[in-house]
Structure 1
Amino acid sequence: MDIKQARGNQGKVYRDAAAIRQAVFVTEQGIDPKLEFDGEDAQMTHYVGYVAGKPVVTARLNDQVAPAHIQRVATLKADRHHGYAFALLQALLNQLPGQTVELNAQETAVDFYKRLGFKRVGDAFLEVGIVHYRMVKN
């Protein structure tokens, strides 16, 4: 898998990230596009994993806060269960050595993030109508 990153909401990497998020979060999960595309993309770093030139997985990183915050992790439905999200997040985390990183995990993804070294912190909460847990990796 080839991983590319870009800062801001311009260019091919961002367009590919947005297309994956549209397919997964808006179309598949029914999240309101105004909530998914929250106006913060211009300040974020977007990561996209490509397999044979096709964008299959994405995540965005807010490194302007402490701890850094991983958001919008999504893999296209047809490309799940191949380890793409795991590889993408490992590459992202390798760019943040020694830093504390947090994310809000959908309930169904908690075990996935535990495999990356994240620990669940606190109680469940609703975000965009979906049960989430705050998770932290030190």
Structure 2
Amino acid sequence: MDIKQERGNQGQVYQDAAAIRQAVFVTEQGIDPQLEFDGEDAQLTHFVGYVAGKPVVTARLNETVHPAHIQRVATLEADRHQGYAFALLQAVLAQLGNQPVALNAQETAVDFYKRLGFKQVGEAFLEVGIVHYQMIKE
């Protein structure tokens, strides 16, 4: 898998990330597009994993907060269970080095993030109508 990253919302990597997010979060999960595309994309870094030139997985990184926050992790439905999200997040984490990082995990993804070294903190909460847990990797 080839991983590319781009800061802002003007280039091809962002367009590919947005298309994956549209397919997964808006179309598949029914999240309101105004909530999904929250106006923060221009200031953040977007990662996309490509397989044979096709974008299959994405994540967004917010380094303007402490700890840094991984957001909008999504894999196209046809490409799930291939290890793409795991590999993409390993690359994001490697770039961050030893600094702490947080994310809000959908309930169904908590065990996935635990495999990457994240620990669940606090109680469940609703975000965009879906149960989430805050997770931290120190």
TM class, shorter-length: over 0.9
Could you tell me which residue of structure 1 aligns to residue 73 of structure 2? 73
- CA deviations 1:15-51 (Å, max 9, x no partner) are 0000000000000000000000000000100000000
Deviations 1:71-121 (A, max 9, x none): 000000000000000000000000011100000000000000000000000
1:5: which partner in 2?
Answer: 5
Residue 106 of structure 1 is matched in structure 2 by 106
- Where do 1:2-41 residues align within 5 Å? 2-41=2-41
Matched to 1:15, the amino acid is Q
TM-score, with length taken from structure 2: 1.00
| Alpha-carbon distance in structure 2 between the residues aligned to 1:129 and 1:66 | 25
Give unmatched runs, 5+ long, in structure 2: none
> What is the identity, as a one-letter code, of the residue corresponding to 1:67?
P
Q: Which amino acid aligns with 1:75?
A: T
Runs of 4+ in 1 over 4 A off after TM superposition: none
1: distance between equivalents of 2:21 and 2:97? 27
CA RMSD between the two structures:
0.3
Runs of 5+ consecutive residues of structure 1 not aligned to the other structure? none
- Indicate the residue corresponding to 1:115 in structure 2: 115
Aligned equivalents of 1:114, 1:44: Cα separation in 2: 24
One-letter identity of the residue aligned with 2:13 = V
Identity %: 84
Distance 2:131 2:10 in 1: 31
